[in-house]
Amino acid sequence: MLKKKKKIKISREGLMKRKLPYAGVGFVMIMLALGINKFSDLNKIKDYQERLDATRWAAAAKEITDGDTFVLTNGVTVRLVGINAPEKGKTDGEEATVYLTKLIKDKRVYLEYDRYQDERFVRILAWVWVNCESEPKFLPYNYMHLTYNQSKPGLTENPEGCKKGQLVNEMMVKKGLAKTTFYKDRGEMKYEERLKKVF
């Protein structure tokens, strides 16, 4: 005759007898930590998206970091998308910083977003408009985005309300103080062709 196998019952008392409570506690602590990190990341993303939506009706440019980066009066850092200017200390770096300062310092700027953002450095990537005749009518901050390298059709000219305004990214390239920077694997950006014609 075959012997019946004994059913092993797992209970709290059994775990205690086997000296496994610490393993259980450790596992729970790890799971909690992972959970907290996950919620923390989600909160960061949510806060970042809310910041994007709020900041496109931007405050004035308070501090110019270099030829393609500046800080708004609300403390948000903005990076001019589609271009790359030399940093301070490098050839033309000071001149680029001075020119960007002349274009936007203490002026109200408007931010138009494209297909991707830079959550890693918690800074906003934008097409920056200045000297607009009225409040520009921009599409929602996430309008362009579909996937990493695909997006919906974007604007191909100055947005309504900024027909007389200046696209700062373009001005930096026209002055010869910045180069266009685009990535094939990310798909074409709104004003990519426009800037390439200037460069």
Mean pLDDT of 77-93: 91
Q: What is the mean pLDDT of the chain?
A: 74
pLDDT digits (tens, 9 = 90+) for 28-65: 343 334 443 433 333 444 455 555 655 555 578 999 99
pLDDT at 41 (0 to 100): 39
Structure token digits, residue 104: 């936007």
Q: CA 186, CA 144: separation in Å to the nearest integer?
A: 12
Question: CA-CA distances (angstroms) from residue 174 to 41, 91, 123?
Answer: 39, 17, 25
Nearest by Cα to 111 from 148, 71, 66: 71
pLDDT digits (tens, 9 = 90+) for 160-180: 888 899 999 999 999 999 999
Q: CA 176, CA 15: separation in Å to the nearest integer?
A: 72
Amino acid at 101: T
pLDDT digits (tens, 9 = 90+) for 97-145: 999 999 999 999 998 888 777 656 678 888 999 999 988 877 766 666 6
Other C-beta atoms within 10 Å of 139: how many? Answer: 14
Nearest by Cα to 110 from 84, 136, 71: 136
CA 181, distance to chain mean position in Å, is: 16
What's the half-sphere exposure (Cβ side, CA atoms, 13 Å) at 139?
Answer: 15
- Helix, strand, or coil here: 39? helix
